[in-house]
Amino acid sequence: MIAITGATGHLGRLVIDSLLTTTPAAEIAAVVRNKEKAADLAALGVQIRVADYDDPASLAGAFRPGERVLLISGSDPGRRVAQHRAVIDAARAAGVSLLAYTGVLGGPEADFALAADHKVTEQAILDSGLPYTFLRNGWYHENYTGNLAPVLEHGAVVASAGQGRVASAARADYAAAAAAVLSGEGHEGRAYELSGDVAWSFAEYAAEVGRQTGREIRYAEVPPAELQKILLGAGLPEGYAGALVDADAAIGRGLLAGTSGDLARLTGRPTTPIAEAVAAALRAV
């Protein structure tokens, strides 16, 4: 049996979609906060278990002995460590056979703010003694293509990453890698550095959006303080805006440009090109 936490989120649903291509639905459990949101998964034959990262008691029945579990990281920096520890404790108490965790590219070497919770979680998993696999995800294409409206409105991709490059991949690529680990063999004790096959610069990204739209789109490099002001003006909370500015600085230092090839090897195919993700996003716009 394979159990997926956060199963109704963007990544969780894609992991289940990928698993369903090789694994019977009856052998998949979706761990969700809201049963109603998982009605479509239940209709497919996926087992639904209700549990909440913020309610350790609810997690006591979320897993079974011998199961393989995917812990999809929480979305709230600052709260994630406690949430993750609750899942780890429940997995250990249940006696699961593998705990896979979606961390961040670079693992212990990642020195930017958004990586902090992931590093603490990886150490907590190591300390638990559970069999593990670390899926250190790089940036998603959707981090950028999911926000094309202001780019098209202003004719600019705004960032403070200098000439740094991003080896991003589609969310579906990372989901397929997680499914391969959960349904395959030989992954215990491994840490995979997952990223796209090609690292692109923001100038190249802007040029690609311009090519596909027939508009002039430029890369507007701004100082970190200016980017912070722009993000706050767009309504982002101060802490999150600061973390994104810090992430741009990490990109400028080359920390999200690594192309290890692990992602393509796990999925057995090349990663999705950024141009394909741009095209899909433009169709949605």
Higher pLDDT, 157 or 76: 157
Q: Give residue 20's pLDDT band: very low, low, confident or very high (50, 70, 90).
A: very high
Residue 153 in domain: no
Say what the pLDDT of residue 179 is.
Answer: 98
Residue 277 in domain: no
Closest Cα partner for 48 from 64, 31, 36? 31
Residue 181 in domain: yes
Say what the pLDDT of residue 86 is.
Answer: 97
Q: Give residue 76's pLDDT band: very low, low, confident or very high (50, 70, 90).
A: confident
Strand partners, 47: 29
Predicted confidence (pLDDT) at residue 285 exceeds the cutoff of 80? no
Q: Give residue 79's pLDDT band: very low, low, confident or very high (50, 70, 90).
A: confident
Closest Cα partner for 152 from 228, 216, 220? 216
DSSP H helical ranges for the chain? 10-19, 39-43, 56-59, 80-94, 116-128, 142-145, 148-154, 171-183, 202-213, 224-233, 238-252, 262-267, 274-284
Residue 58 in domain: yes
Closest Cα partner for 21 from 179, 247, 190? 179
Round to whole Å and give the CA distance between 248 and 222: 11
Residue 83 in domain: yes
CA atoms within 13 A on the CB side of 278: 17
Its sign, for the CA torsion 92, 93, 95, 101, is negative
Say what the pLDDT of residue 172 is.
Answer: 98
**Overall pTM > 0.75:** yes
Residue 17, domain extent: 2-137+171-193+259-268
Residues in the chain, how many? 285
249's CB contacts (< 8 A; 6+ apart) are 112, 160, 161, 224
- Residue written as token pair 């460590």: 81
Residue 221 in domain: no
Residue 105 in domain: yes
Amino acid at 233: G
Round to whole Å and give the CA distance between 117 and 103: 9
Taking residues 168-182, what's their average pLDDT?
Answer: 98
Amino acid at 246: D
Q: Are 135 and 101 in contact (CB under 8 A)?
A: yes
Residues 103-162: tens digit of each pLDDT: 999 999 999 999 999 999 999 999 999 999 999 999 999 999 998 999 999 999 999 999
Residue 27 in domain: yes
Residues 229-272: tens digit of each pLDDT: 999 998 989 888 999 999 999 999 999 999 999 999 999 999 99
Round to whole Å and give the CA distance between 252 and 246: 10
Could you give the 3-state DSSP secondary structure of residue 146? Answer: coil
Q: Are 202 and 171 in contact (CB under 8 A)?
A: no
Round to whole Å and give the CA distance between 201 and 218: 12
Say what the pLDDT of residue 77 is.
Answer: 79
Provide the mean pLDDT of the chain. 96
CA-CA-CA-CA torsion for 204, 205, 207, 212, nearest 10 degrees? 140
The total number of structural domains that make up the chain: 1
Q: Give residue 284's pLDDT band: very low, low, confident or very high (50, 70, 90).
A: confident
What CATH number does the domain containing 85 carry? 3.40.50.720
